[in-house]
Amino acid sequence: MSTPPGLPAIFAESSVDLVPARLLAEFPANTFLESIAVGADGTLFLSSHLDGKVFRIGAEGTPILHSSITGKATGLALTSDGNLLLTSWDSKDVPTVFSISPQGSAAVLVTLPEAIFLNGLTPLADDRYLIADSYRGCIWELNVAEKSVRVWLEHPVLARSSADKQFPAVNGLKKYGHSLYASNTEKMQLVRIPILLDGEPGEPEVLLQPVNLDDFAFDQDGNLYGTTHVYNSVVKITPSRHLTIIAQAQQGMTGSTALAFGRGPGDRTSLYVVTNGGMSFPPATGLEPAKVVKLEAGIAGYPLT
């Protein structure tokens, strides 16, 4: 894999085994698609970071504006009752979590004035969700039913190497088995955090480095699939830590930010990827349209809950 100029060649020696890829939708250049969540009926929900919009793509295959906020949108997650959770900044740049109804109505669930940069979020158990704070270097726990938040874990392994670094530290979060996995993008690390019987965190450990991951998801066999963002690819990492590149810029991965497995019958081996067309690290050929691309992983996804 060719390395974008100015970046460490961390994937230069990685094996390449490309999977089938199909373009589903394009958005205009300078659209920063940030996150994706997939409904049980196959509907895709996408957050557009800079303009605070959430789009949906249903069976008709056309992106439709689902909801919008006055602020910036980041992470998405679906709740058991069909609502969406959206991490964001509001119009006054206060970190905020919105709840979005199935009809698209957005309402403030909680504000987090002590947070800095809310990013990825994932279910922990029941009404409890975990949220990455990429600049504070911590993980918040959100209780949806109680509309409350608290620091679940604050640790140096989740933080930036220095406060002047612009790349996010703790970023993507996913639970697999009895552990929470977190990407520290700025440090190029994959971190594993044991989840104790009471739902509290154990001592985190760096599982793999250097590896530039933004968002990621697991399949049922424990393989991790991650977007590499500025490296314009999607990688597969096995439980034995072998890394393979499964999609590149030629498959539409320029500025790959997030991915999620399909959840419906016949679609559980599909990986849906969103991109920003290279906005964070523009390619020499210029910015591309933001894309939604379907990859075929060949193995079903691991359930989020």
Domains and CATH numbers, the chain: 15-296 (2.120.10.30)
Any idea of the CA torsion for 60, 63, 66, 67, to the nearest 10 degrees?
Answer: 180
Look at the block and give the residue holding tokens 């206060």: 94
Look at the block and give the residue holding tokens 């067309």: 277
Strand 72-78 vs strand 216-218: parallel, antiparallel, or unpaired? Answer: unpaired
Neighbours of 179 (CB within 10 A): 18
CB 143 within 8 A of CB 128: yes
pLDDT attached to residue 2: 75
Strand partners, 195: 201
Look at the block and give the residue holding tokens 């957005």: 106
Q: What is the rounded distance in angstroms from the CA atom of residue 111 to the CA atom of residue 247?
A: 37
pLDDT attached to residue 1: 66
What pTM value is reported for the model?
A: 0.97
- Under the phi-then-psi rule, with left for phi > 0, alpha for psi from -120 to 50, and beta for the rest, what region is 223? beta
- Under the phi-then-psi rule, with left for phi > 0, alpha for psi from -120 to 50, and beta for the rest, what region is 296? beta
DSSP helix/strand/coil, 53: strand
pLDDT attached to residue 3: 86
Block means of pLDDT (10 residues each) for the chain, 305 residues, are 85 97 98 97 97 96 97 97 96 97 98 98 96 98 98 98 95 98 98 96 98 98 98 98 98 98 93 98 94 97 89
Q: What is the rounded distance in angstroms from the CA atom of residue 254 to the CA atom of residue 279?
A: 9
Q: Which amino acid is at 286?
A: G
pLDDT attached to residue 5: 81
